[in-house]
């Protein structure tokens, strides 16, 4: 979105209009005017050319709906958002038919209005790019590839990978597959208590004959709906696997799943290089012990020199124990990188792991479950459904329209 959005508020109720305008100004938006329905609203909109128009809709709704219809015709590039005290589906439907992009319900919360405005403008930019043939920001033709990497073993990479994938499926964000690329230990299948009938090695060896259906036959599905492409039992099986073959497997998985979560070993190999290169996001994990931070310093240097886009590296701190002498601020100073996400210490992880169940579904109300779920929601761009987390940028409820029609 270029510059600050210019917003016009249309509402017959002066007090409601004034209160909303104040909230928008506090949120750093440019409020260019407030006006009633009909010709007054249309003439001011034509003169001021707002980026977004907010329209209040109350009973009787006829004039408000007529104004929305006229505004959408007059300003086809300016999204119109409606707000109302009416919370029923029929009122929302009528407003959308009139041309509104979203339907917010009173009492209005400033953060909800801000998020609705931002979403509407983002959608408008995507429509404009699609119409013009320009690249659409954030639009992927394949699934998101999330590579979980760390320079030291025992820091919770597999726990985060398995639970992150499970969270994507649990919140209906899309399909997810876990790829176990740990060439030494490969514990993803064991952590989820699923059988290893085929592996990534077998998929790589047969890659030239694989299509989407055949590759699907090599995956094992956990009861949560998450699919797994396990590591083989024997580390020696990896000897003849080429990086090119693994790259093809990952490409095929990204064409058939919304989220591909790769669990990497704590070492740099040709296979790991592929996982890092293919990644949409690299979650670089460290714990708060000295050796892990030291190894992460080295890893960051190697990643920065070899990866195609350093911005996709996100530092994740896992509080593996409840007795840490260092804090996240210390980690940021040493690594000269902001902590992207923090996983709290929680005894519930060990209890769920013993049962072969992801903690996000086995104990969804635990601290660690909520944190991982919020991380998944942030990556997927959906609502987490939990209370705000201090690392999360979202959390506000979207409009009634979104909740009713699951857009």
Half-sphere exposure of 262 (CA within 13 A, CB side): 34
Domains of the chain, by residue range, sit at: 6-132, 144-392
pLDDT of residue 218: 94
Give dist(CA 383, CA 360) in Å, integer: 15
At residue 124 the predicted structure's pLDDT band, cuts being 50, 70 and 90, is confident
CB count, 10 Å around CB of 355? 11
Give me the residue label for tokens 């942030």.
378
Q: How many Å apart are CA 184 and CA 301, to the nearest integer?
A: 24
pLDDT at 138 over 60: no
Mean pLDDT estimate for the chain:
84
Can you give the pLDDT at residue 350?
Answer: 65
Mean pLDDT across 281-294? 88
Q: Indicate the burial class of 243 (C-beta count within 10 angstroms; 0-12, 13-18, 19 or more).
A: middle
CB under 8 A, 24+ apart: contacts of 297-306: 297/334, 297/335, 298/151, 299/149, 299/150, 299/151, 299/268, 300/335, 300/337, 302/268, 303/276, 306/273, 306/276
Kindly report which listed range (99-108, 132-141, 241-250) carries the lowest average pLDDT score. Answer: 132-141
Q: What pLDDT is recorded for position 402? A: 44
Architecture per CATH, domain 144-392, reads as 3-Layer(aba) Sandwich (3.40)
d(CA 162, CA 220): 13
What lies within 8 Å, CB to CB, of 101 at 6+ separation is 79, 80, 81, 120, 123
Cis amide bond preceding 89, omega within 30: no
Answer whether 0.85 is exceeded by the pTM: no
DSSP state of 230: P
- Asked if residue 331 has pLDDT above 50, the reply is yes
As a CATH number, domain 6-132 is 3.40.50.2300
Spatial CB neighbours of 219, under 8 Å, sequence gap ≥ 6? 177, 198, 227, 228, 229
For residues 399 and 278, is the Cβ–Cβ distance under 8 A?
Answer: no
- CA gap 165, 185 in Å, rounded: 19
Helix then strand then coil, % of the chain, to nearest 5: 45, 15, 40
User: pLDDT-derived band of residue 325, with 50, 70 and 90 as boundaries?
Assistant: low
Q: How far apart are the first and last CA of the chain?
A: 21
Mean pLDDT of 193-216: 90
- The confidence score (pLDDT) of residue 403 equals 38
Q: What is the pLDDT of residues 355-401, one digit of tens each?
A: 667 888 888 888 888 999 999 988 887 765 543 333 433 333 344 44
**Cα distance between residue 162 and residue 150, in whole Å:** 15
Res. 338 pLDDT band, cuts 50 70 90: confident
pLDDT confidence of 191, banded at 50, 70, 90?
confident
The answer to whether the bond into 234 is cis (omega within 30° of 0) is no
């Amino acid at each position: 979105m270029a510059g600050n959005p210019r917003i016009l508020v249309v509402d017959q109720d002066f007090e409601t209009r004034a209160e909303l305008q104040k909230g928008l100004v506090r949120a750093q938006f440019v409020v260019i005017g407030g006006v009633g329905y009909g010709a007054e609203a249309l003439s001011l909109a034509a003169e001021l050319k707002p980026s977004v128009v907010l329209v209040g809709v109350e009973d009787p709704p006829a004039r408000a709906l007529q104004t929305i219809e006229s505004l959408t015709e007059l300003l086809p590039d300016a999204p119109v958002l409606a707000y109302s005290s009416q919370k029923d589906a029929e009122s929302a439907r009528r407003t959308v038919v009139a041309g509104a992009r979203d339907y917010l319900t009173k009492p209005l919360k400033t953060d909800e209005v801000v998020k609705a405005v931002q979403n509407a403008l983002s959608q408008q930019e995507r429509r404009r790019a699609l119409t013009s043939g320009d690249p659409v920001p954030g639009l992927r033709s394949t699934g998101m590839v999330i590579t979980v990497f760390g320079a030291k073993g025992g820091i919770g990479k597999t726990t985060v990978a398995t639970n992150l994938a499970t969270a994507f499926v649990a919140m209906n964000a899309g399909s997810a597959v876990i790829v176990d690329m740990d060439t030494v230990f490969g514990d993803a299948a064991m952590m989820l208590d699923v059988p290893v009938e085929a592996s990534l090695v077998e998929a790589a060896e047969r890659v030239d004959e694989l299509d989407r259906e055949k590759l699907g036959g090599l995956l094992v599905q956990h009861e949560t709906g998450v699919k797994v492409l396990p590591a083989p039992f024997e580390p020696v099986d990896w000897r003849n696997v080429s990086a090119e073959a693994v790259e093809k497997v990952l490409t095929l998985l990204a064409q058939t799943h919304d989220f591909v979560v790769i669990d990497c070993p704590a070492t740099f190999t040709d296979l790991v290089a592929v996982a890092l290169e293919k990644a949409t996001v690299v979650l670089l994990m460290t714990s708060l012990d000295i050796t892990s931070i030291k190894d992460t310093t080295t890893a960051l240097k190697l990643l920065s020199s070899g990866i195609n886009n350093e911005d996709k590296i996100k530092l994740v701190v896992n509080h593996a124990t409840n007795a840490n002498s260092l804090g996240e601020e210390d980690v940021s100073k040493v690594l000269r990188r902001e902590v992207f996400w923090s996983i709290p210490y929680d005894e519930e992880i060990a209890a769920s792991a013993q049962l072969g169940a992801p903690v996000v579904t086995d104990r969804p109300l635990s601290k660690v479950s909520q944190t991982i779920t919020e991380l998944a929601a942030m990556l997927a761009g959906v609502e987490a459904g939990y209370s705000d987390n201090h690392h999360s940028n979202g959390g506000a409820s979207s409009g009634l329209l979104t909740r009713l029609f699951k857009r």
